[in-house]
Amino acid sequence: MTVTSLIITLIIGAIAGWLASMIVKGHGQGVLTNIIVGIVGALIAGFLFPAFGFGTTSPVLGSIISSTIGAVILLLILRLIKRA
């Protein structure tokens, strides 16, 4: 992984994590947590979307959208675990 791709991954993760924290209220934890949630969300989306036959056409915008959806799923799962 090059430095440029690492920086782009971190930026996309931060955007996706921030968007997910805005969608799922009460999970704004800071920039580092947003990046982690966004990257883990991208991993979740990377496994789920192809399994359901979904793909993205735009590399950056598609990555942000799918990462955000994955991050929302992650935050909802964490909320369920936290309540139990």
Q: Where are the domains of the chain?
A: 13-83
**HSE-CB of 76 using CA atoms within 13 angstroms:** 10
What is the reported pLDDT for 42?
Answer: 84
What per-residue confidence (pLDDT) applies to 27? 55
pLDDT of residue 28: 58
pLDDT in tens, 26-67: 655 677 888 888 888 888 888 888 888 777 667 888 888 888
Which of these, 53, 22, 49, 50, lies nearest to 37 by C-alpha position?
22
The predicted structure's pLDDT at residue 32: 83
